């Protein structure tokens, strides 16, 4: 269910992150290599990024498949950022197909993507969700609780829905936060910055798979991984 990526480091074009790698999100929209649930990610996409002088993130989202967006492909090479969250969507059965259901979601400061699924009835009431889909409701809950409580929120939701898959990826322009809970996440640490992704976008041996049930933080000082105990 979905594929996502985050980047923190020197500014890179959106094309170099989302479109150009040999197993980019564009390719993963029709041929993911490690996806355990679902086969394609054709139910929408989104990219959020931070730029100097702008207090919050900019977003571009669509309910169409990423491969059907020539306008994004035409401008992505000239849009650059040092902090990016992007995703392609495979909708949970019964969930609506609409732009507002595509990650990343935002509270005006943070971007957040959810790779997984959760029973909506297992979530407490939330305010200001961008859509009625499970991922949007979960994002609103995380925003309400605060990103510093991300690990505790994931554990609480997992206790309410033991079958939930709760891989979350968030950014505020200065750091990335992520959880692994039921699906894959890999990290690539380079001299230019750090990438987190549901699956590697190429075959660079420097990619490292992160353990399940972990809280991951990326700052300009590096990457830390902390176990999430249930």
Count of structural domains within the chain: 1
pLDDT band per the 50, 70, 90 thresholds, residue 97? confident
Name residue, tokens 């809950």. 141
How far apart, in whole angstroms, are the C-alpha atoms of residue 95 and residue 98?
9
pLDDT of 221 over the 90 cut: yes
The confidence score (pLDDT) of residue 102 equals 97
Choosing from 1, 2, 85, 139, the catalytic residue is 2
Structure confidence by residue, pLDDT tens digits, 110-158: 999 999 999 999 999 998 999 999 999 999 999 999 999 999 999 999 9
Domain containing residue 96: 3-227
Name 169's Cβ contacts closer than 8 Å, sequence gap at least 6: 4, 5, 6, 85, 87, 112, 113, 115, 176, 177, 178, 185, 196
How far apart, in whole angstroms, are the C-alpha atoms of residue 206 and residue 195?
11
Alpha helices (H) along the chain: 14, 25-28, 70-75, 134-145, 150-160
Beta partners for residue 166, in sequence order:
116
Annotation says 83 is catalytic = no
Alpha helices (H) along 52-99: 70-75
Q: Find the CATH number of the domain harbouring 118.
A: 3.60.20.10
Structure confidence by residue, pLDDT tens digits, 147-195: 999 999 999 999 999 999 999 999 999 999 999 999 999 999 999 999 9
């Amino acid at each position: 269910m979905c594929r996502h990526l985050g980047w923190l480091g020197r500014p890179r074009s959106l094309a170099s992150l989302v479109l150009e790698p040999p197993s980019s999100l564009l390719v993963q929209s029709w041929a993911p290599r490690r996806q355990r649930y679902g086969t394609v990610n054709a139910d929408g996409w989104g990219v959020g990024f931070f730029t100097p002088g702008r207090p919050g993130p900019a977003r571009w989202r669509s309910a169409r498949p990423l491969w059907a967006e020539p306008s994004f492909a035409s401008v992505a090479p000239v849009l650059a950022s040092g902090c990016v969250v992007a995703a392609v969507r495979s909708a949970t059965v019964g969930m609506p197909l609409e732009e507002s259901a595509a990650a990343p979601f935002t509270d005006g400061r943070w971007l957040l993507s959810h790779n997984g699924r959760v029973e909506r009835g297992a979530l407490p009431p939330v305010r200001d969700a961008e859509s009625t889909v499970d991922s949007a409701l979960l994002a609103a809950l995380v925003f309400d609780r605060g990103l510093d409580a991300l690990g505790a929120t994931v554990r609480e939701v997992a206790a309410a829905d033991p079958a939930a898959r709760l891989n979350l990826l968030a950014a505020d322009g200065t750091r990335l936060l992520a959880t692994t809970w039921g699906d894959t996440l890999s990290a690539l640490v380079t001299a230019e910055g750090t990438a987190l992704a549901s699956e590697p976008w190429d075959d660079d041996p420097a990619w490292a798979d992160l353990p399940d049930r972990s809280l991951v933080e990326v700052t300009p000082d590096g990457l830390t991984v902390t176990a999430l105990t249930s």
